[in-house]
Amino acid sequence: MLRRLGASSLALAGAVTLLAGCGAGGSSSAAPPDATAPPSSSDVGRSAPFDPTRQDFRAIRRVMAAQAKAVVAGDEKGFVATVDPQQPDLVARQRVLFDNLRQLDVTHLAYAVDTSALVPARVPGGDPVFHPVVVEHLQLAQTLSEPVSNPVDMTFVRRHGHWLVGAVSQPEDSGHFDSPQERPWYGVPVVARRDGALTVIVDASAADSLDRLTTAIRDDITYDAHLLGVPASYRVLVDATTNGLAYDFSSVSREEAAAVTFGLTASDRLGNHVTGPAGTAIKVNPNLVDDVVSDTGILRHELTHYLLREYSGSNPKRLTEGVATWVEYYPDDFSALQVPATLYRSVMHADRALPSIGLFNTDPTVNYPVSQAAVAWLVDHGGVAKLIELMKAYRAQYQDVNADALTPRLFRQVYGVNEADVVQGAFAKLAELQH
């Protein structure tokens, strides 16, 4: 049975398309008020402007240190005691956060509080409120090499002399200045599994998919690593939840794709400077988990990006995407692949050139198959080991974002061919496509 080239390797071809985006402190010295304490003022309206003192900031740091300590210790009562009891909905959401964090193997959790203030969220009552900059640093056993740093949007309220968590939210726009990198533990209930260095998280409502997704990820990492001749690494956070950012799963289209791979970073305490990598995450579209599990090509494509992540910033996009699509369709006998007639015409009428970095996303329906065909030709003329050698050469000689400028020299250096030879070979393969 022929596979359709446009089914999952092209950025605009359908809903299962792949693209890669290509210590806790001590407990608070000030106990929170009893849950039955009456409101200190009106339950409606916004509090008057408040100018926090150093003592107020120290109290907030104690609150967040108490939250972190409670998570690590599994102390739900202590965690809830840091939340405003006059807001049952907020307390319920924070219980979910606690339960989600307890699903994970958290080895380090700490919160930094800056001495700057933002506009506070609306909190019931007229008690003092303020909104400092809070940064969460969380590390998962084996999966993350360093704590991932995420800003946390929190407003605090002072009830009867004690500071408490009064409002929490999370931006859902990736362009927002305060958006988290990756924080799937905040939002709806989740279930998680750690399999060695691999951590997989799904919505609790989709718990039946956890085993299947974990097994598929592990099996396809093993497959990809063997095919590419690189070490198998399972140190990745797989997030298939509805929590976090509302990803388009595509940098070139609003059409949904299956997954996106990205690096995670650690930062200084207040999130002002990146201090190094923390790990790698794969965000799986929670609406397409069944497709991801049932179509082996989908995960193999994305996991290629993960295994070859050390080359992603220094190699041309048409090479990194071409390799991932080649793995997805291996063994990619082009004469056995079928595409729509319209796509075939578009490909065969395209400029006889390799897609450049600046133009790759302008016509992905053409540029993906051209990139795949170019990689297939290179593998035919040197094997996978020489292809990895080419990627290493790009990394070693990388000078700026225009990695394409190195292409003519590196083709001669690694393969002893001209760029025109690769282009001619790629389009000869594309001409074999069934349509």
Q: What does the pLDDT average to over 218-232?
A: 97
Percent of the chain with pLDDT over 90: 70
Confidence of residue 295 (pLDDT cuts 50, 70, 90): confident
Segment 158-166 shows an average pLDDT of 96
pLDDT of residue 15 exceeding 60: no
pLDDT score recorded for residue 175: 62
Residue 36: predicted pLDDT:
35
* Euclidean distance between CA atoms 396 and 390, whole angstroms: 10
Per-residue pLDDT, 14: 30
d(CA 299, CA 322): 15
Per-residue pLDDT at 297 exceeds 80: yes
Query: Which residues lie closer than 8 Å to 65 by C-beta, 6 or more apart?
Result: 24, 25, 26, 27, 28, 110, 111
> 293 pLDDT exceeds 80?
yes
pLDDT at res. 247: 57
pLDDT value of residue 41: 39
Instruction: State the pLDDT at residue 83.
Output: 98
- pLDDT at position 47, please? 61
CA distance 298 to 219: 13
C-alpha span between 348 and 356 (Å, rounded): 17
**61-89 burial string, b = 16+ CB within 10 Å, else e?**
bbbbbbbbbbbbeebeebbbbbbbbbbee
**Torsion sign, CA atoms 374, 380, 383, 384:** positive
Mean local confidence (pLDDT), 318-338: 91
> What confidence score (pLDDT) does residue 176 get?
66
pLDDT of 29 > 50? The answer is: no
Q: Are 3-21+191-430 and 54-177 in the same CATH fold?
A: no
CATH 3.30.450.20 for domain 54-177: no
Residue 151, SS3 per DSSP: strand
pLDDT tens digits, one per residue of 250-280: 544 333 468 888 999 999 999 899 999 999 9
The span from the CA of 116 to the CA of 41, in Å, is 27
Which residue, 316, 323, 336, is CA-closest to 402?
Answer: 316
Nearest alpha-carbon partner for 99 in 110, 91, 111, 107:
91
Q: Is the peptide bond before 286 cis (omega within 30 degrees of 0)?
A: no
- pLDDT given at position 173: 64
Q: What is the DSSP string of 186-242?
A: SSS-EEEEEETTEEEEEEGGGGGGHHHHHHHHHHHHHHHHHHHTS------EEEESS
Q: Residue 296 is encoded by which pair of tokens?
A: 């082996």
**Average pLDDT across the chain, whole number:** 86
The pLDDT assigned to 306 comes to: 93
Predicted local confidence at residue 228, as pLDDT: 97
Q: Has residue 4 got a pLDDT over 50? A: no
Q: What is the pLDDT of residue 248?
A: 52
Band the pLDDT of 401: cuts 50, 70, 90: confident
Helix then strand then coil, in percent of the chain rounded to 5, is 40, 20, 40
Distance from C-alpha of 128 to C-alpha of 420, rounded to nearest angstrom:
69
pLDDT at 333 over 60: yes
pLDDT at 8 over 60: no
Contacts of 149-152 with C-beta under 8 Å, sequence gap 24+, read: 149/181, 149/265, 149/266, 149/267, 149/271, 149/278, 150/180, 150/181, 150/182, 150/183, 151/178, 151/179, 151/180, 151/271, 152/111, 152/180
pLDDT at 252: 45
The domain defined by 3-21+191-430 folds into Neutral Protease; domain 2 (1.10.390)
Region 50-73: what's the mean pLDDT?
Answer: 94
Domain boundaries, the chain: 3-21+191-430, 54-177
For residue 86, pLDDT beyond 60: yes
User: For position 189, what pLDDT does the model report?
Assistant: 98
What is the arithmetic mean of pLDDT over 287-312? 91
Confidence (pLDDT) at 359: 86
Q: CB under 8 Å, gap of 24 or more: what pairs does 117-124 form? A: 117/52, 120/47, 120/155, 120/166, 120/167, 121/153, 121/155, 121/166, 121/167, 121/169, 122/46, 122/167, 123/47, 123/84, 123/87, 123/155, 123/157, 123/166, 123/167, 124/39, 124/43, 124/44, 124/86, 124/87
pLDDT of residue 362: 86
pLDDT above 60 (res 13): no
Dihedral Cα 110, 112, 113, 118, nearest 10 deg: -100
CA 322 to chain centre: 21
